């Protein structure tokens, strides 16, 4: 019996060692945000609610004998009210530093938009769904799951330059009651340089997407964005601009000549980060004709402020404020208003 137990123990140990040797490298990360958030709009009385958001994700990676890295990731939980679970495709990293994303690769234009400082935490006001002014710099960068995105290595053709290119094909999903994305392409570039003690980053992207619809002809989404950030010591200043057209699928609406201008500033002093941002967006929407403007003008002007304090490793206290002044169809949008946020984020 003792001999059998020893054999069984050795077998289990051998299998465990083999399993460990053959397993890919897995890393886990996540965060939990909890706060009080106040919202005050022209359409409703002021209210204070708890704002909670949690996520837990796993990243998997391995390197072949030839030096090619293979990576993917998946999310086990994302308990934010406005986000769903996210599962990545595959990323291949080559020995020259270039990368290739395959399966649900994304759009290269969106990979190079410049981050603009703004509020801390998650303050915000949700304007009514008929206000279709798009407020993000990459509002036009769609892609199907059948696509690839190539990223160059650093210093591509010039010191400080990186570029990306993407293309996606029709996944066969038919247009039903609303339009469906058919295909897309995108190009993007980021250039990093310096001027004295200032580090400068310039990002730009261009993209185009084709849509299909059972009931009528459909124009596509398309546009460009450009932005820059300048970092001098603890001070960061950034600005960006985007312009283009967009097909919004749910609810179906075409948004024409949408433009977004954003500017922000961030200053770090010890464990405290101060931030402020402003953006202005406007676009003409049309719910009945997806090939012609002929609609009405929607706008959103967003002002945001934030204070973050690093309490301990992985623990950040946040105070944020955001105000949205909106117009829907050329008239005052009473769902606009202001919001404050006081809470903490714990990350691992």
Whole-number pLDDT of residue 23: 85
Q: Is the pLDDT of residue 6 over 70?
A: no
Task: Give me the chain's average pLDDT, please.
Answer: 89
Encode pLDDT of 24-69 as tens digits.
Answer: 999 999 999 999 999 999 888 899 999 998 989 999 999 999 999 9
Measured CA to CA, the distance from residue 283 to residue 208 in angstroms comes to 18
Q: Is the pLDDT of residue 201 over 80?
A: yes
346 burial via Cβ count (<10 Å: 0-12, 13-18, 19+): middle
Q: Which residues are within 8 A (CB) of 153 and not within 5 positions of it... i.e. 6 or more apart?
A: 96, 97, 98, 162
Residue extents of the structural domains in the chain: 28-347
Tokens of 22: 């053959």
* pLDDT confidence band for 211 (50 / 70 / 90): very high
Q: Is the pLDDT of residue 158 over 60?
A: yes
**Most confidently predicted of 160-169, 176-185, 292-301:** 160-169
Measured CA to CA, the distance from residue 66 to residue 96 in angstroms comes to 12
pTM: 0.85
Least confident of 107-111, 203-207, 208-212, 287-291: 287-291
Encode pLDDT of 235-256 as tens digits.
Answer: 999 999 999 999 988 888 999 9
Domain 28-347 has CATH 1.10.8.50: no
Whole-number pLDDT of residue 12: 38
Whole-number pLDDT of residue 213: 86
Measured CA to CA, the distance from residue 339 to residue 40 in angstroms comes to 6
* Eight-state DSSP code of residue 137: T
């Amino acid at each position: 019996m003792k001999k059998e137990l020893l054999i069984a123990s050795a077998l289990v140990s051998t299998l465990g060692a083999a399993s460990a040797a053959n397993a890919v490298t897995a890393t886990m990360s996540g965060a939990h945000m909890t706060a009080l958030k106040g919202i005050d709009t022209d359409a409703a009385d002021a209210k204070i609610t708890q704002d909670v958001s949690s996520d837990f994700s796993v990243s998997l990676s391995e390197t072949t004998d030839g030096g090619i890295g293979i990576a993917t990731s998946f999310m086990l939980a994302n308990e934010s009210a406005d986000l769903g679970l996210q599962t990545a495709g595959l990323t291949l990293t080559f020995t020259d530093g270039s990368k290739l994303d395959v399966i649900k690769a994304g759009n290269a234009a969106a990979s190079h938009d410049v981050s603009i400082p703004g509020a801390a935490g998650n303050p915000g006001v949700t304007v009514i769904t008929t206000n279709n002014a798009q407020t993000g710099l990459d509002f036009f960068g769609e892609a199907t799951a059948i696509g690839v995105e190539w990223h160059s290595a650093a210093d591509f053709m010039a010191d400080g330059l990186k570029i990306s290119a993407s293309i996606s094909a029709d996944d066969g999903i038919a247009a039903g009651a609303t339009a469906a994305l058919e295909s897309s392409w995108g190009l993007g570039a980021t250039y990093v340089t310096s001027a004295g003690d200032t580090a400068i980053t310039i990002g730009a992207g261009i993209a185009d997407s084709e849509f299909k619809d059972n009931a009528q002809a459909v124009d596509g989404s398309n546009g460009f964005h450009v932005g820059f950030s300048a970092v001098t010591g603890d001070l960061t200043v950034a600005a960006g601009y985007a312009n283009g057209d967009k097909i919004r699928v749910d609810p179906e609406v075409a948004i024409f000549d949408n433009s977004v201008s954003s500017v922000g500033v961030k200053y770090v002093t010890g464990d405290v980060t101060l931030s402020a941002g402003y953006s202005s967006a406007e676009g003409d929407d049309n719910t009945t004709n997806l090939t012609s403007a002929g609609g009405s003008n929607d706008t959103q002007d967003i002002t945001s402020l934030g204070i973050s304090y690093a309490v301990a490793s992985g623990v950040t206290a946040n105070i944020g404020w955001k105000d949205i002044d909106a117009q829907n169809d050329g008239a005052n949008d009473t769902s606009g208003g202001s919001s404050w946020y006081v809470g903490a984020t714990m990350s691992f």
